[in-house]
Amino acid sequence: MSAQPSVLVVEDDVHIAHVLGFMLERQGYRVIHVADGRAAVQHVVSQPAPDLVLLDVMLPYVDGFEIVGLIRAQAGWEAVPVLMLTAKNTERDTVRALDAGANDFIIKPFQPQELLARLRRFLAVS
């Protein structure tokens, strides 16, 4: 892991993306943001893996469930921790995210300190 861990944020809501970017950069993370599923797919297949992915479930073009499947199948990305963010708070969605390969699942609106604690947990072991 690099001195400054990188976090890929896949989030189509501009406000949430801005808040996440601000929060993460203040904690010393390097943030890479893509705003929709198509851009996320392009990033996964063409760029080196980050240290962690924060992935929204509901995205334009390609949803988060498909993207986490792609991440798990992409050489060099297979072990990257993926935390999925969603406004959907149902057991079915949680199970679907975990079954797709997500490491954790965070419900929006999230608590910033809880999100950062979950992030640190995954980055500490990678």
CA 89 to chain centre: 17
- Using an 8 Å Cβ cutoff, are 68 and 97 in contact? yes
Classify the phi-psi angles of 107: left when phi > 0, otherwise alpha if psi is within -120 to 50, otherwise beta: beta
**Domains, in order of start, for the chain:** 1-66+91-110 (3.40.50.2300)
pTM of the predicted model as reported, rounded to 2 decimal places: 0.93
Q: Give the mean pLDDT of 14-41.
A: 97
Nearest Cα to Cα of residue 68 among 34, 106, 40: 40
- Cα 55 to Cα 3, 6, 44, distances in angstroms: 23, 14, 12
pLDDT in tens, 71-112: 999 999 999 999 999 887 788 888 888 999 999 999 889 999
Q: pLDDT tens-digit profile of 36-60?
A: 999 999 999 999 999 999 999 999 9
Q: How many H-runs (helices) and E-runs (strands) does the chain carry? A: 5, 5
Q: pLDDT tier at 124 (50, 70, 90 boundaries)?
A: confident
